[in-house]
Amino acid sequence: MGFSQGYGPADDGESIKAIHRAVELGVTLLDTAMSYGQGHNEQLVARALAELAGRDEVQVATKFGIVRTEQGVGLDGRPEHVRGYCDASLLRLGVDIIDLYYLHRVDPGVPIGETVQAMAQLVDDGKVRHLGVSEVTAEQLRAADAVHPIAAVQFEWSMVWRDPELDIIPAARELGVGLVPYSPLGRGLLTATLDRDTVGSSDFRRTDPRFQDTNLERNLAQIQALRAVADGLAITPGQLALAWLLAQGDDVVPIPGTRRLDRVAENAGATDVELSQAELDRLDAAVRPEAWAGDRRSFAVPATTRTISGS
């Protein structure tokens, strides 16, 4: 997403280089969405893939359901629009089949089962290989999986935000659904590189309660503790945060985003870090889970009204 919106100016050429570097380092999943930059992001991924030697080793995931227009942001999961959204994504991505197709957000005016039924037809038609859902409740996940097997559920999960451990993660594991944490670096907070100026330069962070006032002060104090543990392990705070997620299970596939080549290499290096139980316990004691401040739920859903335009 950061290639197209939310985190300040980006450069397409540098973004493509970042994608290529990620694949060189062993990354095999690229995650995008039709809403990111109103289609720009999918087109950018297509350009990167066209120039990539190992294209067949890369799986592409994209999402539909959040619709951005000049009039604002809305949600649309109406079954009659699903095929049109998919066809448009296929065209922008320059592929014949999407490896993993997500419902980005549940349309409050449409039962999730009805949307997933339309998505399942895409699998039958050979346009999509696997289905996913994003930012759903445990009940919605069960309802979706009852219609068609759900391969992955995407949600925000990191050391900064642990709530998914209470409901969606147990439900997903009960159903055998893979876990795809987005913002695994806490929107950059867990890299220990942010200050008030960098927070203020991002539209996405400015509206997040975790980056505001006393919440930010408390969270920055947590980051200092995280840095101390990371220094003791001779890794970066960001690598420690990603390694923590990877240690939560083999069914966890974090999707850290970055626009910088050095960060791509740093993130990929986290896969070489294996934390022992003693190190995980020490991390929990130093960076206390209950000490993070700010509730992200107040801004998690971009809109609660259905779009009224066609596909």
- Evaluate whether residue 217 is within a structural domain: yes
Mean pLDDT of 166-192: 95
What's at 240, amino acid-wise? L
Q: How many domains, the chain?
A: 1
Higher pLDDT, 302 or 117: 117
Q: Are 33 and 62 in contact (CB under 8 A)?
A: yes
Return the axis-axis angle of helices 261-269 and 12-24, rounded to nearest 10°: 30
Mean pLDDT of 199-216: 69
Q: How far is Cα 172 from Cα 176, in angstroms, rounded to an integer? A: 6
Nearest by Cα to 149 from 171, 176, 182 = 176
Mean pLDDT of 40-48: 94
Compute the C-alpha angle 243/22/267, nearest 5°.
25
Higher pLDDT, 6 or 255: 255
Region of poorest pLDDT, from 10-14, 123-127, 278-282: 10-14
Q: What is the pLDDT confidence band of residue 309, given thresholds at 50, 70 and 90?
A: very low
Instruction: Please give the pLDDT value at position 204.
Output: 59
Higher pLDDT, 206 or 270: 270
Instruction: Please give the pLDDT value at position 279.
Output: 97
Q: What is the pLDDT confidence band of residue 213, given thresholds at 50, 70 and 90?
A: confident
- Evaluate whether residue 216 is within a structural domain: yes
Q: Are 209 and 182 in contact (CB under 8 A)?
A: no
Mean pLDDT of 125-154: 98
Is pLDDT above 80 for 251? yes
Is pLDDT above 60 for 307? no
**Half-sphere exposure of residue 10: CA atoms within 13 angstroms, side-chain side:** 25
Mean pLDDT of the chain: 89
β-pairing, 66-69 with 72-75?
A: antiparallel
Instruction: Please give the pLDDT value at position 303.
Output: 43
Higher pLDDT, 127 or 13: 127
Instruction: Please give the pLDDT value at position 304.
Output: 43
Is pLDDT above 70 for 286? yes
Region of poorest pLDDT, from 96-100, 269-273, 288-292: 288-292
Mean pLDDT of 209-237: 90
Instruction: Please give the pLDDT value at position 300.
Output: 53
- Evaluate whether residue 1 is within a structural domain: no
- Evaluate whether residue 6 is within a structural domain: no
Is pLDDT above 50 for 86? yes
Instruction: Please give the pLDDT value at position 54.
Output: 64
Domain carrying residue 114: 12-299
β-pairing, 59-64 with 72-75?
A: unpaired
Which three-class secondary structure state does DSSP give residue 148? coil
If one counts every other C-beta atom within 10 angstroms of the C-beta of residue 69, the result is 10
Q: What is the pLDDT confidence band of residue 182, given thresholds at 50, 70 and 90?
A: very high
CATH number at residue 225: 3.20.20.100
Element (H, E) at 179: strand 178-182
Is pLDDT above 60 for 92? yes
Instruction: Please give the pLDDT value at position 41.
Output: 93
7 is catalytic: no
- Evaluate whether residue 307 is within a structural domain: no
From the candidates 36, 85, 102, 182, which is the catalytic residue?
Answer: 36
Instruction: Please give the pLDDT value at position 199.
Output: 63
Mean pLDDT of 182-188: 92
